Amino acid sequence: MLTEELRTTARALGEALRCHEAVQKYLKASADCTADAEAVDFEDRLLALYAELTSRQQRGETLQREEIDVFHALSRQVYEHPRIAGREAAATLVKPYFAEIADEINLQLGVEFAALAQATDAEERA
């Protein structure tokens, strides 16, 4: 269990990260994507189709080539959508920043921060 001091420090870090330009760009791109009904519909359809196809495969069904082609065509539509592409581009830029921060935290704490954060998140949900 984390101390209150560590929780407070982690919250402050989160707020500081939120202020970074790359994170701000990602948050805006993500909000723009969420506000775009067509983008949301594309992603929902892709996730539903993916879930259906993988479920069928796991049950031992053989997928038809046409079904796979439909999945790939929808996937292209999703990732070519301007809002979704913008969000993904912004995410690509923010990931190295987060990795750098995580490495610095690991160095300072002497523990793997990501594993600690996941354990804490699981604790808080329980």
Q: What is the pLDDT of residue 113?
A: 64
Q: How confident is the model at residue 3 (pLDDT cuts 50, 70, 90)?
A: confident
Number of domains within the chain: 2
Range of the domain at 61: 37-80
Residues 23 and 43 in one domain: no
Nearest to 94 by CA among 4, 21, 19, 9: 21
Residues 98 and 123 in one domain: yes
Task: Provide the percentage of residues in the chain whose pLDDT is more than 90.
Answer: 63
Q: What is the pLDDT of residue 102?
A: 82
Residue 20 has φ and ψ, to the nearest 5°, of -65, 140
Sign of CA dihedral 77, 81, 84, 90: positive
Q: How confident is the model at residue 42 (pLDDT cuts 50, 70, 90)?
A: very high
Residues 48 and 27 in one domain: no
Q: How confident is the model at residue 8 (pLDDT cuts 50, 70, 90)?
A: confident
Separation of alpha carbons 6 and 126, rounded Å: 19
Q: Give the Å distances, CA to CA, from 16 to 23, 68, 79, 94.
A: 10, 43, 30, 14
3 φψ region: left (φ > 0), alpha (ψ -120 to 50), beta (else): beta
Q: What is the pLDDT of residue 9?
A: 81
Q: What is the pLDDT of residue 25?
A: 96
Average model confidence (pLDDT) for the chain? Answer: 88
pLDDT at residue 92 is higher than 80: yes
Q: What is the pLDDT of residue 114?
A: 67
> What's the average model confidence in pLDDT over 58-78?
96
Q: How confident is the model at residue 120 (pLDDT cuts 50, 70, 90)?
A: low
SS (H, E, C) 89-124: HHHHHHHHHHHHHHHHHHHHHCCCHHHHHHHHHHHH
Classify residue 2 by burial, with Cβ atoms within 10 Å: 0-12, 13-18, 19+.
middle
Last residue of a domain, one of 63, 80, 97: 80
> What's the average model confidence in pLDDT over 26-45?
97
Residues comprising the chain, all counted: 126
